[in-house]
Amino acid sequence: MHTDAVFRSRRSNVLAVHGMVATSQPLAAQAGLDILTAAGTAADAAVATAAMLNVVEPTSTGIGGDCFALYWDARTKQVTALNGSGRAAGAASIEEVRRLGYQRMPMFTGHAVSIPGAVAGWSDLLARHGRMTLADVLRPAIRTAEEGYPVSELIARGWATQVQKLLRSTDWQSGDLGNGPEQPSGHELLLDRHAPRMGEVMRIPTLAATLRGIAAEGRDYIYQGDFARKLSAHVQRYGGWITPEDMAAHVSTWDEPITCNYRGVTLYECPPNGQGLAAILALNLAAGFELADRDEPDRLHILIECMRLAFADAQQWVCDPRVVPIPLAELCSTEYADRRRRLIDLRRAADDVSFGLPHAGSDTVYLSVVDGEGNACSFIGSLYMGTGTGLVVPGTGVSLQNRAALFLLDPAHPNALAPNKRPYQTIIPAMTTKGGELHASFGVMGGFMQPQGHVQMLVNMLDLQMSPQQALDVPRWQVADPDDGVGAQEIGGRIMMEEGWSFATLAELSRRWHRVVPVDGFGRGAFGGGQIILRDPQTGVLTGGSDPRKDGCAVGW
């Protein structure tokens, strides 16, 4: 393992041949494995796992959020991309938000709620790639929500950070909560108005009832009828615009993935409105450097600079391409990468990083599934910032996402808030092929860490020849959140470095004008949680790794 970093996990790779599931909570991984053993496909197991995560990790994902998936069909040898993200309401208005005094999109009011796309995504994934019904795959999640489960360690810690938001407390870190009823419904996701502690048994009967409704009626339970009316009324109570008509109009889309070639493998990412473009751009840049034989500070400096350039482009261009055209072919071309690569100085961090002109020239869950036939599903779902807005639709156990908070209030920007438009999305699954066969299904959750995680996992596995578990174990780095107003335009930017890198490496990065911010303890959660399943096309052997920064595991049979 070519690294000087000292952090190590004692976890071994998991090996199997008939199927494997890797995700951030063991009960969810087991739910998916049960579907595989019952002859389900990777799609069936992915939806079962995702639904279970709604129950056992509801502070990260849920029916009120979105999802994306990449699916490898072993029969056709094709990768398809599912966009299960929602759009802004038909009445969404920059003028109204500005009239209320906001200089940027509010994060926790009804204005931040976009149409939740998760359940439509589940349904569409099963329709194209599954063998089972929603009723079949939701059964484990329904049972667990009704009977209860002991809350796992890191999830309990994250849950505690959401209590004040769920209760709309004036002590919440943001005053951006909006007006609403005196008795908010966030208590449905709490135990006597507190977060469940590790080992406490949590039951969510209202969520179980919602899941039962979906099992009985399919996606229409969410997008038609009583649930849609309740959701719309609750969002409007907190200032938002969603109507039952907006809910009924929602559809997922199947897209052509965007790709790049890196060290002999093809990386697949969902196209915008997701930020997978940032990973493609960064790896196109990194492909022009020999990384394996460089010392650690050199390698990290190059990758950080590649990532900063990639984010500059992504922050400019990622939007809803059905509303604003994006020059994807030019952005993803090797010619564009060659031109941008000239901006990288091997001796120091760039003073200023701006986006290029190609024509001229926060909490999430991720899961990976591979079935015994070699089909694979790389799947990600999220409410964005923990429980999203923290607005729980009364009597349903469903917390609503705050994805619309990622819109901009500049009408001239491609990602400007507009009616029926999808916002910039941080959640991105990844998949690689090699020689026309599946190579790996993987992802790293965690806001703007995600494309950076994809880059680091591939460099670890391909340049540094690490196994999946090794690739996940080693310390990570992160370019500061590109929208936080701190890092991207300042000299060297702000680079968060996880505990475990050597002092010599940190010192050398500082000498090259990177603003190094060491992170240790539970702060390491900022570096996301990843899952990787690698498949040997000759033997069918699956090698799985699961992130030690989360509660989960890889399981196989």
Catalytic residues: 364
Helix ranges (DSSP H) in 238-332? 244-248, 276-286, 296-317, 328-331
Residues whose CB is less than 8 angstroms from the CB of residue 12 and which lie 6 or more positions away in sequence, other chains included? 469
Residue 290, CB-side half-sphere exposure with 13 Å CA sphere: 2
Q: What CA–CA distance (Å, rounded) separates 278 from 430? A: 12
The length of the chain in residues reads 557
Core vs surface per residue 242-271: b (16+ CB within 10 A) or e: bbbebbeebebeebebbbbebbebbbbbbb
CA distance 476 to 498: 6
Give per-residue burial for 493-513: e unless 16+ CB within 10 Å, then b: bbbbbbebbeeebbebbeebb
Helix axes 503-511, 296-317, angle to 10 degrees: 60
**Beta strand pairing call for 494-498 and 515-519:** parallel
Report in angstroms the alpha-carbon separations of 219 from 208, 337, 338, 379, 498: 15, 42, 46, 18, 41
Q: Sort residue 446 into left (φ over 0), alpha (ψ -120 to 50) or beta.
A: left
Strand, coil or helix: 8: coil
Tokens of 327: 């020059």
Q: Is 538 exposed, middle or buried (0-12, 13-18, 19+ CB in 10 A)?
A: exposed
Q: What is the DSSP string of 434-479?
A: ETTEEEEEEEE-STTHHHHHHHHHHIIIIIS---HHHHHHS--EEE
Cα-based distances in Å from 265 to 260, 262, 283, 293, 433: 8, 5, 11, 19, 6
**Gyration radius from the chain CA atoms:** 22
- CA 114, CA 89: separation in Å to the nearest integer? 7
Element holding 495 (H helix, E strand) = strand 494-498
C-alpha distances in angstroms, 86 versus 422, 445, 467?
6, 19, 36
Query: Residue 294 half-sphere exposure, CB side, CA atoms within 13 Å?
Result: 16
Q: How far apart are CA 552 and CA 557, in angstroms?
A: 17
Closest CA to 168 of 392, 366, 410: 392
